[in-house]
Amino acid sequence: MTILVNMVNERDILKQVSQQLEKISGMQPHGIKKPDRGVDLVLRVGDKTLVIEVKTSTHAGAIADAAKQVAAAARQMSPKAIGVVAVPFMGELGRQICRDAGVGFIDLSGNADIKAPPLVLHIEGQPNKFIPRGRPSSVFAPKSSRITRLLLLDPQRWWSQNQLVEEGDLDRGYVSRICKRMESQQLIERNSDRALRPRDPNLLLDAWEDHYQFDQHEIIHGHVAARSGEELVHRVCQSLKDHHHQHAVTGLAAAWLLAPFANYRLATVYVDYTPTEAFFNDLKCRREERGANLWLIHPNDEGVFHGGQDIQDISCVSAIQTFIDLQSMPERAEEAASHLRKECLQWQ
Where in the chain are the domains?
A: 5-123, 145-211, 214-344
Greater model confidence, 115 or 28: 115
Cα gap 45→117, rounded to integer Å: 12
Q: State pLDDT tens for residues 94-113.
A: 999 999 999 999 998 989 99
187 burial class (0-12, 13-18, 19+ CB within 10 angstroms)?
Answer: buried
Q: Find the mean pLDDT for residues 7-31.
A: 77
Q: Find the mean pLDDT for residues 220-230.
A: 95
Please give the mean pLDDT across all residues of the chain.
90
214-344: which CATH topology?
Beta Polymerase; domain 2 (3.30.460)
Per-residue pLDDT band at 339 (split at 50, 70, 90): very high
Enclosing H/E stretch for 310: strand 309-311
Q: Has residue 136 got a pLDDT over 70? A: no
Greater model confidence, 327 or 10: 327
What's the whole-model pTM score?
0.86
Which range has the worst mean pLDDT, 25-39, 45-59, 199-213? 25-39
Contact assessment for residue 311 and residue 230, using Cβ atoms and an 8 Å cutoff: no
Q: State pLDDT tens for residues 280-314.
A: 999 999 999 988 999 999 999 999 999 999 999 99
Greater model confidence, 284 or 116: 284
Enclosing H/E stretch for 30: strand 30-32
Cα gap 77→94, rounded to integer Å: 24
Please give the pLDDT value at position 1: 34
Q: State pLDDT tens for residues 55-87.
A: 988 899 999 999 999 999 998 888 888 999 999
Strands 81-87 and 104-107: parallel
Residue count of the chain, please give it: 348
Instruction: Look up the CATH number of domain 5-123.
Output: 3.40.1350.10
Q: Has residue 5 got a pLDDT over 50? A: no
Please name the amino acid found at residue 287. R
Q: State pLDDT tens for residues 168-192.
A: 999 999 999 999 999 999 999 999 9
Backbone angles phi, psi at 285, to 5 degrees: -100, 125
Residues with Cβ < 8 Å from 217, sequence gap 6 or more? 297, 298, 299, 300
Cα gap 316→2, rounded to integer Å: 44
Q: Find the mean pLDDT for residues 309-325.
A: 96
CB atoms inside a 10 Å sphere around CB 152: 24
Cα gap 116→262, rounded to integer Å: 40
Please give the pLDDT value at position 34: 58
Strands 112-116 and 41-45: unpaired
Which range has the worst mean pLDDT, 59-63, 205-209, 260-264? 260-264
Please give the pLDDT value at position 17: 82
Q: How far apart are the first and last CA of the chain?
A: 43
Architecture of domain 145-211: Orthogonal Bundle (1.10)
Q: Find the mean pLDDT for residues 306-326.
A: 96
Cα gap 167→145, rounded to integer Å: 13
Greater model confidence, 281 or 22: 281
